Structure 1
Amino acid sequence: MLRYLVTLQASDREGLVEQIAHSVSRHGGHWLDSELRHIDGIFAAILLLEVPAAQWDELIETLELLDGVALTYAKTSKPQAKNKHVSYSLVANDRPGLVHQISNKISALGINIEHMSTRYESASHTGIPLFRADFNVGMNTHDEDKLTQALYDIGDDVVLDNLSA
């Protein structure tokens, strides 16, 4: 079995996930992990698939024939696990460059972002624009306090919740 990360995007429409899943199944693929999103009328998917080597080319051809689908893929291997996986939720006043600041603080500590979901929202009482990031990181156990402090150093408006505690 080959292991691939596949990304797809297309104009959103009903039945698209079923078409993709049917194609994977029909070619003997195993759907291991995924993120599926609808953003501003566009469907975007990230899929981790295991597929028999003899079926891989046919699966890609089938996916490429789906109406309006653009795709990329890369062969993967199983990553080495870090000692600890931690989930956070961060809220701050929205401003340009915030994702860069967050990712810079995390990267400077040698910590890997494994998953990140961000969104813009308005504070319910004031309407102030807020930025929210929910993310998971893989790190060594002794880095947790350093990461927490580094994220608070971004600004006085940062509210950080460790969802793993």
Structure 2
Amino acid sequence: MSMKHLVISVIGQDSPGLVDTLSDTVFQHHGNWLASSLTQLAGQFAGILQISVEEQYEAALITALKSQQAFHIHVVDGNETPPAEQTIALTVSGNDRRGIVNQVSHLLGQNGINISKLKTETKSAPAWGYPLFYAYFQLETKTEIDLDEIQSQLEQLADDLTIDFD
């Protein structure tokens, strides 16, 4: 029996029970929920899932997911990827402004660094009230990189950015 890996994006009006509906649909159609990132943004429930399913159940699972009225669903074939040579956590913080993610992602891409996860948020600065931007990256590379050089390049993007590697 051949296993298929599916990557499923989902978006819909947020309400209680949406994850239950998704997980039940996957379970009832012989799927295995491998990984996900789900969140509520501006009143919408949005997420991405990785599901494995035996090939014989794939079509029925996709049909069942797409028949859910509460969601907009998009499904693509996935595959298992070999592990990276190096996994690095990067936190970027600073005064909120347009273009931070664009500049950081561009610089990382130019250096051959893959972004495998990205979480961002904006918070009010304690005591001052102006917005601070935080980006939490999980990076992967196939080769060793010079973190000091990457940090230096990132810090040159703006005076107020704080760069932390872990």
State the TM-score, normalized to the length of structure 1: 0.93
- Secondary structure in 1 aligned to 2:146? helix
Residue 92 of structure 1 deviates from its aligned partner by 1.1
Query: Is the contact made by 2:12 and 2:72 (CA closer than 8 Å) also made in structure 1?
Result: yes
Q: What is the deviation of 1:147?
A: 2.0
**Where does residue 150 of structure 1 map in the other structure?**
153
Q: Offset of 1:144 from its aligned partner?
A: 2.4
Which runs of 5 or more residues in structure 2 are unaligned? none
Structure-2 residue corresponding to 1:161: 164
Instruction: Say which is worse superposed, 33-42 or 91-100, in terms of deviation.
Output: 91-100
CA contact 2:62–2:75 (8 Å) conserved in 1 = no
Partner of 2:9: helix, strand, or coil? Answer: strand
Distance 2:147 2:78 in 1: 28
Partner residue in 2 for 1:57: 59
* Cα distance in 1 between the residues matched to 2:159 and 2:99: 16
What is the CA distance between 1:109 and its match in structure 2?
Answer: 0.1
User: How many residue pairs get matched?
Assistant: 163
Residue matched to 2:18 = 16
The residue type paired with residue 28 of structure 1 is H
Deviation at 1:159, TM superposition (A): 1.0
Gaps of at least 5 residues in structure 1 are none
Separation in 2, partners of 1:13, 1:57: 27
Q: CA deviation at 1:141?
A: 2.3
User: Which residue of structure 2 aligns with residue 120 of structure 1?
Assistant: 122
Alignment identity in percent?
Answer: 29
Q: Equivalent residue of 1:78, what SS?
A: coil
Task: Give the structure 1 partner of residue 31 of structure 2.
Answer: 29
